[in-house]
Structure 1
Amino acid sequence: MNGNVVRPWLTQYPEEIPTRINYDEKPLQEYLKEGAKEEPDKTLFHFMGKEMSFGEVYNSALRFANSLKDLGVQKGDRVAIMLPNTPQSVISYYGALIAGAIVVQTNPLYVERELEHQMVDSDAKVIVCIDLVYPRVMNILEKTSLEHVIVTEVKDYLPFPKNLIYPFIQKKNYGFKVDVEYNKTTHSFVDLLKFAETKEIPLKIDVKKDLALLQYTGGTTGVAKGVMLTHFNLVANTTQCIKWMYNMNHGNEVILCALPFFHVYGMTVGMNFSVMDRSKMVILPRFDTKQVLKAIDKQKATIFPGAPTMYIGLINDPNVQKYDLSSIDVCISGSAPLPVEVQERFESLTGGKLSEGFGLTEASPVTHFNLMWGNRPTGSIGLPWPDTDVAILSAETGDTAPVGEIGELIIKGPQVMTGYWNRPEETKASFHGDWLLTGDMGYMDEKGYFYIVDRKKDMIIAGGFNIYPREIEEVLYENDAIQEAVAIGIPDPYRGETVKAFIVLKEGAQITEAEVSNFCRKHLSAYKVPKHFEFRNELPKTMVGKVLRRALVEEEKNKLARNADIKQSKSS
């Protein structure tokens, strides 16, 4: 691109936020070590009644690191972690880094095909998994380079008597209890730590070159790719987050961690944030509205990173008024667009601030955020973070688009990945010079606030008109009967594509297709109004709560293919 980067957003920064940051050039695990040395008795997390201090967690992480070394793990080897949010997920993450390994975060919900691909692609040597997924791991073991499997159970870190009761709850909920066969290659997590040393492991880390993490993308547009993130990428993004939230009570916050740590969003704004800021985590193994409301009430959570679907679930919980949510100061919303109505209702319930940001796995993940205490334009993803350059790439000129013009969002910054693991061609294709191509279509206003209109691949072209699903969804969310909505493009013989909306109604609400259509016509141009509606009890989502739009698109394609087959068989 031609010309220098114009940064109007810097004029919007309050004086408390620096425009440039001097980042610590030290490995990520060093923050846990420093916390343990300087404040060993300070609580790092609360988990279902159990608490562990910085000193205890670091001691456990050292034991885990030494266990990995005993199993033959060398610097640069990949160690996969397939755990829900638990103490073990924190210990194994930092322990693997202490051992010099590269962490491969793995979703416990992966089916065997997805798990096999990730293990083969990363060439992982060791996997740490929860007992419930142990059978899946064993079924793909021989097809991978995995040499050791380390198994743990939720009950391993539960306080008495919950640790005794949990196996019965597990059997009731899942219908079975896994019997693990321990041997020379399958190990008990607690037994490994019990007999391991706590000695420091000498290690030379080049923070800007050495990888801390292989974070696999969702693979919704193809095969999942391993995003290579260095120690510096992760340290920089977490530091940016801490600096952005300048009005916090640093070191004394209580961070509700319901976002999964195996997702880069939960890892950065939950786990790494807590360790670096020396604030307390309240760890929840999964998102459950009752458990979240209870945790905020009892643990007095002050910061709650989440996704729009989480906040939607909470404000629509019939018992929400029974809980004291007034401790909430800040909520960081990401992973999907935040409807304005949801933001307003949640803020009125808690008295705290709920702001929307933007990011992607390839950027560790956060690049933009609205001001917590300041101007928050409706519908904006906010301002670029310190040291983050952003531009809009014009599809017509291949150069920087003028203010207000829609184009592709492109990014440079210390949090941007070094590339995709073992995929040089795809790495090259994801950059425009040294700018990361996000695949998101948006624009910048004159003050430097950015707006996303939609994913490049999600844009609907109907009769030659460009239609952005997010605009339709914002209108649908304004209807009092609608709890969740998503719009997609489906094939149309006349228009090429047309709009279909999937809708989840609020509990007890009733509305007809005709009424929804009439509501849309009052707020949208005729060509944007959905021609088809489908009411559902729920929408397909990722573990972070992002609606799987592509899954709905695939459903529609399969439905069309089936109808075509039926039509052909009848005609023949």
Structure 2
Amino acid sequence: MKDTRWLNHYPADVNAEVQIEERSLSALLDAAVNRFDSDISLEYHGDQWSYREVQQIADRLAGCLFQRGFKKGDRLSIMLPNCPQYIFSAFAAFKVGGIIVQTNPMYVERELEYQLNDTEAEFIICHDSLYERVKNVQDRTYLKNIIVVKEKEETVIDESDIFFEDFLNTYVSEHPEVQINPMEDIAVLQYTGGTTGEPKGVMLTHQNFINQIEQYYEYLFKQLDSQEDLNRVVISFLPLFHIFGFANVTMFGFKFGYKQVLLPRFEVETVLKLIKEDPPFIFYGVPTMYTAMLNYPNVESFGIEKINGFFCGSSPMPLELYEKFKNLMDKDAFLSDGYGLSEATSGTISNPHSRLKIGSIGLPIPRTKAKIAIETDHGMEDAPVGVEGEILVYGPQVMKGYWNKPEETKATLKDGWLHTGDIGYMDEEGYFYIVDRKKDIIITSGYNVYPREIEEVIYQIPGIREVIVIGLPDEYRGEIVKAYVSVTESQKVTEEEITRFCRDNLATYKVPRMVEIREELPKTSVGKLLKKELRNQELKKLKSN
């Protein structure tokens, strides 16, 4: 890999080969306490916790988990909305060498059961609103310990289970010191969908997270950290179960020392009021969130111009949205977007805020290499500048592999290079652009949706003959999910029945917003369904309308 032309366009103060020490995520918390101590780390519904208090609760919880038999390498499923208990639980698991399983609170029973069995998790910490769902699948999984975060006083649970606060009160003694190998020991299993329909657990080590934190600090945040009058506040509404929220917002906070105001979900009015009361220095969001703010009445009165910088992730920000939102910002503020994926602990390529190129995903961040590869008769070869091919990335934030899936790991990681499945090109200055996806994937409101999974669910409905699921452009969500279905003559299946079945078997964001029943779906002479052709037909229709 000789072509690193992007280094010529790095800001002068950025060290492309920044040295990063080996450390565990537990050590990250300890270092934060040494530096920030009594500063506020977390705020939730008006309650606050200092960095030292976060450490104390995590230590206590780690002791309780250890007493219950939780040990190094064991998996702890966390099925919570954004709340302090999520962060306490993660650090507690890290302290005893455990692995946290990022469990989406929107999972229905089928999805939850699959993930719990794939990880063989015996411990789960869940929200009281999700308790019934967890209980319904317990007998079909390895779960032995259910710890419930109680928000409603009337919540009742089985005697065999325990509330989070009561669990903390079972504390007897400190957990033993556990040796962590940051380079090898897995910290997080981050589940991502699959083109085969089967979700995969991305194995991310302690060092993967430390590398990601230090890479972004060097690339985008080092200058900000030196500002004495910086208002070290971030509003944390990006889901913690998503790699963007967990790595780039929450774990990064323990490096930078900001206060995280935790919100269970993004609500535009709540977020704008918080900005007005106590403007964050940086704002993290996805395009739908920026759109929601832009369209809110009198948005210019909420003090958006007081924010130092904005970061957009999960999917590219449309040019029109960028131009409009820029008008709300201070002239010296930056708006940067980038490119990342779960398999790379979130970030790999990003626009430097001093040299932003609209339409581009930016430059490879420090200690990261990227290239465009094309398939030839001799295998994969590097593409010339401007030629489209698959984006490959290489860096210390790239995953260890997929949990219990050696073949999929081998197909995705080759000689350390992560094959992203996204099609793009590099320009003369080393900026990268995305033009298409090699993988069959839909990105809706920042969530990755895999059509194959939805198709497999719809095929379970009696009378379904053929299914094609595609993503169609949507101004607000980026893309929406649409299912095209043909049915057998002997069965009467309605679009409403298909939607209802999907709601029962898929997380909300995966449920098709549109279902269309057709007599026939397009296919080749040998009967292969023509998904790409169908999508192209639909896009032409949309353009003509």
* TM-score bin (small chain): 0.7 to 0.9
Pairs within 5 Å for 1:354-503: 354-372=335-353, 374-396=354-376, 398-457=380-439, 501-503=472-474
Q: Deviations over 1:236-259 (max 9, x none)?
A: 011111111232136862122110
Could you tell me how far apart the structure 2 residues matched to 1:409 and 1:502 are? 23
Q: Deviations over 1:52-71 (max 9, x none)?
A: 10011110001110110011
Question: 1:197 and 1:318, CA in 2 relative to 1: closer, same or farther beyond 3 A?
Answer: farther
Q: Deviations over 1:121-167 (max 9, x none)?
A: 01111000000000000000011111100000247xxxxxxxxxxx6
Paired letter, 2:400:
T
Q: 1:204 aligns with which of 171, 179, 202?
A: 179
* Unaligned runs of at least 5 residues, structure 1: 156-166, 168-176, 460-468, 474-485, 489-496, 507-545, 565-572
SS in 1 for 2:270: helix
- Report the counterpart of residue 180 of structure 1 in structure 2: 157
Could you tell me how far apart the structure 1 residues matched to 2:56 and 2:10 are? 40
Is the contact between residue 59 and residue 198 of structure 1 (CA under 8 Å) also seen in structure 2? no
- Report the counterpart of residue 517 of structure 2 in structure 1: 559
Could you tell me how far apart the structure 1 residues matched to 2:338 and 2:473 are? 25
Question: 1:394 and 1:141, CA in 2 relative to 1: closer, same or farther beyond 3 A?
Answer: same
Paired letter, 1:101:
G
SS in 2 for 1:305: strand
When the two chains are superposed, the root-mean-square deviation of aligned CA atoms in Å is 2.8
Could you tell me how far apart the structure 2 residues matched to 1:293 and 1:221 are? 40
- Report the counterpart of residue 226 of structure 1 in structure 2: 201
Is the contact between residue 77 and residue 124 of structure 1 (CA under 8 Å) also seen in structure 2? yes
SS in 2 for 1:21: coil
User: Cα offset for 1:202?
Assistant: 0.3
The question of 1:341 aligning with 2:320 is answered: yes
Pairs within 5 Å for 1:210-359: 210-219=185-194, 222-245=197-220, 246-249=222-225, 253-351=232-330, 352-359=333-340
Pairs within 5 Å for 1:96-245: 96-154=93-151, 178-181=155-158, 183=159, 185-197=160-172, 199=174, 201-219=176-194, 222-245=197-220
Q: Deviations over 1:169-220 (max 9, x none)?
A: xxxxxxxx64222x2x411101122342573530111111100011000346
Q: How many pairs were matched up? A: 464
Could you tell me how far apart the structure 2 residues matched to 1:180 and 1:291 are? 32
Paired letter, 2:148:
V
Could you tell me how far apart the structure 2 residues matched to 1:252 and 1:125 are? 41
SS in 1 for 2:381: coil
Is the contact between residue 80 and residue 125 of structure 2 (CA under 8 Å) also seen in structure 1? yes
- Report the counterpart of residue 531 of structure 1 in structure 2: none
- Report the counterpart of residue 512 of structure 1 in structure 2: none
Is the contact between residue 40 and residue 51 of structure 2 (CA under 8 Å) also seen in structure 1? yes
Is the contact between residue 86 and residue 154 of structure 1 (CA under 8 Å) also seen in structure 2? no
Is the contact between residue 128 and residue 150 of structure 2 (CA under 8 Å) also seen in structure 1? yes
User: Cα offset for 1:326?
Assistant: 2.6
Could you tell me how far apart the structure 2 residues matched to 1:203 and 1:382 are? 40
Could you tell me how far apart the structure 2 residues matched to 1:76 and 1:68 are? 13
Is the contact between residue 252 and residue 278 of structure 1 (CA under 8 Å) also seen in structure 2? no
Is the contact between residue 62 and residue 197 of structure 1 (CA under 8 Å) also seen in structure 2? no
Q: Deviations over 1:401-440 (max 9, x none)?
A: 0000000001110000111000001111112332110000
Could you tell me how far apart the structure 1 residues matched to 2:35 and 2:308 are? 27
SS in 2 for 1:64: helix
Could you tell me how far apart the structure 1 residues matched to 2:14 and 2:80 are? 35
Paired letter, 1:444:
M
Paired letter, 1:130:
H
* Unaligned runs of at least 5 residues, structure 2: 452-467, 478-506, 523-545
Could you tell me how far apart the structure 2 residues matched to 1:95 and 1:231 are? 14
- Identity in percent: 39
User: Cα offset for 1:112?
Assistant: 0.3
Could you tell me how far apart the structure 1 residues matched to 2:261 and 2:304 are? 15
Could you tell me how far apart the structure 1 residues matched to 2:112 and 2:126 are? 12
Question: 1:427 and 1:50, CA in 2 relative to 1: closer, same or farther beyond 3 A?
Answer: same
Is the contact between residue 256 and residue 282 of structure 1 (CA under 8 Å) also seen in structure 2? yes
Could you tell me how far apart the structure 2 residues matched to 1:284 and 1:442 are? 35
Could you tell me how far apart the structure 1 residues matched to 2:62 and 2:476 are? 49
User: Cα offset for 1:222?
Assistant: 1.4
- Report the counterpart of residue 74 of structure 1 in structure 2: 71
- TM-score relative to the length of structure 1: 0.76
Paired letter, 2:368:
T
SS in 2 for 1:89: helix
Could you tell me how far apart the structure 1 residues matched to 2:256 and 2:280 are? 15
Paired letter, 1:227:
V
Is the contact between residue 343 and residue 355 of structure 1 (CA under 8 Å) also seen in structure 2? no
The question of 1:35 aligning with 2:32 is answered: yes
Q: Deviations over 1:473-503 (max 9, x none)?
A: 9xxxxxxxxxxxx9x9xxxxxxxx9x99554
Could you tell me how far apart the structure 1 residues matched to 2:36 and 2:238 are? 26
Is the contact between residue 125 and residue 148 of structure 1 (CA under 8 Å) also seen in structure 2? yes
Could you tell me how far apart the structure 2 residues matched to 1:153 and 1:391 are? 48
User: Cα offset for 1:347?
Assistant: 2.4
- Report the counterpart of residue 492 of structure 1 in structure 2: none
User: Cα offset for 1:14?
Assistant: 1.1
Could you tell me how far apart the structure 2 residues matched to 1:150 and 1:389 are? 42
